[in-house]
Chain A
Amino acid sequence: MKSNVIKLVQNIAESLHLKPQHSFAGGVHPKQFKRTAHEMIVDCPLPPVLIQPIKQHIGELCEPIVQVGERVLRGQKIAKSQGYLCAPVHASSSGTVIKIDDHIIPHPSGMGLLSIFIEPDGKDEVDESLHPLPNYRSVDAIELRERVRKAGLAGLGGAAFPTFVKLVQDQQHPIETVILNGIECEPWLTNDDQLMVEKAHEIIGGLDIIMHMVEANQAIIAIEDNKPMAIESMQQTLLGMGLEESVRVEVLPTKYPQGGEKQLVEVLTGKEIPAGRLPIHIGVLSQNVGTSKAIYDAVCLGEALTDRIVTVSGDALPQPMNMRVRLGTPIRFILEQCGLEYLDDIKVIHGGPMMGELLSSVDVPVVKASNGVLAMHKYSVMQAHHEEEPCIRCGDCGDVCPAGLIPNLLAMHCKEEKFDRAEDYKLFDCIECGACSYVCPSHIPLVHYFRFGKGQVAQIRREKDFAEESRVRSEARDARIAKELAEKEEKRRVALERKEARAKAAAEAAATNTISEKPQEPDVVVKTDKPEAES
């Protein structure tokens, strides 16, 4: 009787999604707007000119290694790494370099960056310097990592962190679980969803390579329950490849920002990543499904990263699509392909609506971080935009914050420029997901305040470092001048002593022998004069 009741309760709980499952604190449920779900991926045609900025990732700048007028092939390296945290840039199609100049990039500042302009010749010839390694299981992990670095891979989920940096075997932090992030929690975006439907084999191939590289023996593919086709496709492919024992597909209830790395790791493992630490510190590695496919391409096919899937959508777009776009394709060209010719009263968002940025120009190119391009009617963007009103202390922002912060107090400190207080309130643990701004009934641009605060703190730190360096240089100079002075003083003192000694000797000599006086006198005069003249 008792066990029956328990069973009944369990059944009800399960059907209501109430079965005990780890989740992260907070989160919101924005409307989905996934207009492009189940739209087949379409190849975007080659644009008249490809614009490839020399930095498309988080980290250091690359350096162009091609000249104007040079012919380049698809996949040929055109800008090389200049540091550790760096991913090289490859030509997206064969053609001629026509210009190397500053060009506006997708960045909230609206500033430009050195970019390489390539005029494609339409032949799309491939550079074959990266040879395929289909038997990756017999290849050393270090060589595979070098391959991932050379292929210019950066996280395709939106943050564009150089991929090879994460794929490391650390004796202190062995990786137990690899997480493949197919959450795609941003509204509108469907590129990962469709990629999982169409390229499941490649994605799981990439996952197998990652597991081989970091010697992990289990993996989880995390997908939200609003992507039934992707779940089906991944499960079928896993069965087909015989990996169902080490890899499992985890279906999670839809919630934003579940795709955030820290949130996803917490949901899947029940372990929270400590502040300021990385998933590797708790034995987890997470990669986006798109990145996994790119790893497969780089290793098994020898292809550098030259294209990515972009969701082109928005309420102002006549034909929304999931597109395979060459990196460097101007966004204006993509919008034209989707039937949008006139851009009056249209705002274009780069990325998703929650974390993406409003573009100041549609001439910016698609980069490695571009997961979505949304063309929105101006009125629908403006509808969401209100004047900031005073905080009413409702606490909604704290309820939805996935990082467990107190956004209203944090924003207040940032607004009053009390950055040390903001740091006490863990400003740098904010992941800028935008959930707090989304729910704020006073329309306070909370995330904007946090970004402002983070920028200011970084600037203050830079200034402090520079002041410290200047102090060291200034003190070194003062010490040097003091030393020189002391040396001079010492020289003068020695000379003076010598002069006195000579004078004394001369006087003694004069007293004893009057003949020796004459030749010595001029000598004394010359020697004693010199140091004084010098000083």
Chain B
Amino acid sequence: MQIVLAIGIFSALALLIGIGLALASRYFHVEGDPLADKVDDLLPQTQCGQCGYPGCRPYANAVASHEAEVNHCVPGGERTMLEIADIMGVEPKAIEEEETAPVVAYIREDECIGCTLCIKACPVDCIIGAPKQYHTIITDHCTGCTLCLEPCPVDCIEMVETPELLEHWSWPVPGTLRAQVGEERKYQHEE
């Protein structure tokens, strides 16, 4: 008799919890993939496609579903890679491509023929222009993805390094090579 009672109690409990969980999964359902959202938040949003995916969001989805490795985001650099590895709970992997200095695209306007092909290619809508008018790049919004270089039929777009701004300057790590930059500048100045 007692064993029947015990089985009955636990069956009822299991049923109740099951119903509770079923309801919770329905009413607290989250749209989209929260893990992919987290990864997407860490990515630099350059939309450059260097990872082999058409943009940052698709790469984030691929990483979240373990389809892609964590080390394909070149512009994000090591810091982004480490952060993604941390939230994905996987071993960090070195990025194969070398990190480059930040660049922005620049259109040599004399050579531009106004074909609008680069405008269509820009993933962040930062090229302005109209058919048969010069195009130009809104430098402040350019992510340096280089996607506009390839479609240009006259090769009038180049990537230029962004100048280091005084207000964005920050102290280097103490005791490193970069800490001597000031000294180097001094010699440049003296020359």
**Which residues in A have some Cβ–Cβ distance to B below 8 Å?**
104, 107-111, 113, 360-361, 363, 388, 415, 417, 445, 448-449, 451-452, 454-456, 458-460, 462-463, 466-471, 473-474, 476-477
Contact = CB atoms under 8 A, between A and B. Distances in A.
Given A360-B185, A361-B189, A473-B126, A468 B45 contact: yes
A110 B174 contact: no
Interface in B135-191: 141, 143, 164, 166, 168-175, 181-183, 185-186, 189-190
A360 B55 CA distance: 44
B47 A108 contact: no
Interface string B19-57: 000000000000000000000100111110000000110
Interface string B64-101: 00000000000000010000000000000000000000
Contacts of A109: 166, 169, 181-182, 185
Contact of B189 (A113, A363, A417, A471): A363
A473 B55 CA distance: 13
17 contacts: A109-B182, A111-B169, A360-B185, A445-B174, A448-B174, A452-B171, A452-B172, A454-B170, A460-B79, A466-B143, A467-B45, A469-B141, A470-B124, A473-B126, A474-B123, A474-B124, A477-B125
Nearest to A359: B186
B170 A455 contact: yes
A275 to B, nearest CB: 22
Contacts of B174: 388, 445, 448-449, 452
B141 A473 contact: yes
B183 A360 contact: yes
B171 A448 contact: yes
Contacts of B164: 111
A361 B186 contact: yes
B171 A455 contact: yes
Interchain residue pairs A-B with the least CB separation, the first 7? A455-B170, A470-B45, A360-B186, A451-B171, A110-B185, A467-B45, A473-B124
Given A109-B169, A452-B172, A470 B189 contact: no
Contact of B44 (A113, A448, A449, A467): A467
Chain A CB count within 10 A is highest, among B141, B143, B164, B182, for B182
Contacts of A445: 174-175
Nearest to B124: A473
Nearest to B183: A360
Q: A-side binding surface: helix, strand, loop or mixed?
A: helix
A448 B174 CA distance: 6
Contacts of A467: 43-45
B28 to A, nearest CB: 26
Contacts of A108: 171, 182
B76 to A, nearest CB: 9
A111 B170 contact: no
B55 A104 contact: no
Contacts of A470: 44-47, 124, 141, 143
Nearest to B143: A470
Nearest to B126: A473
Nearest to B187: A360
Nearest to A470: B45
Nearest to B120: A481
A206 B126 CA distance: 51
Given A360-B183, A468-B45, A473-B141, A456 B170 contact: yes
B181 A110 contact: yes
A363 B166 CA distance: 18
A113 B167 CA distance: 10
A361 B43 contact: no
A301 to B, nearest CB: 33
A285 B64 CA distance: 52
Contact of B166 (A111, A454, A469): A111
Contacts of B186: 110, 360-361
B104 to A, nearest CB: 12
Contacts of A466: 44-45, 143
Contact of B56 (A104, A449, A463, A471): A471
A255 B179 CA distance: 31
A414 to B, nearest CB: 9
B182 to A, nearest CB: 4
A113 B166 contact: yes
Given A110-B186, A466-B44, A466-B143, 17 more contacts: A110-B181, A110-B182, A361-B190, A415-B173, A449-B174, A451-B170, A451-B171, A452-B172, A452-B173, A463-B44, A469-B141, A470-B45, A471-B45, A471-B56, A473-B126, A474-B123, A477-B123
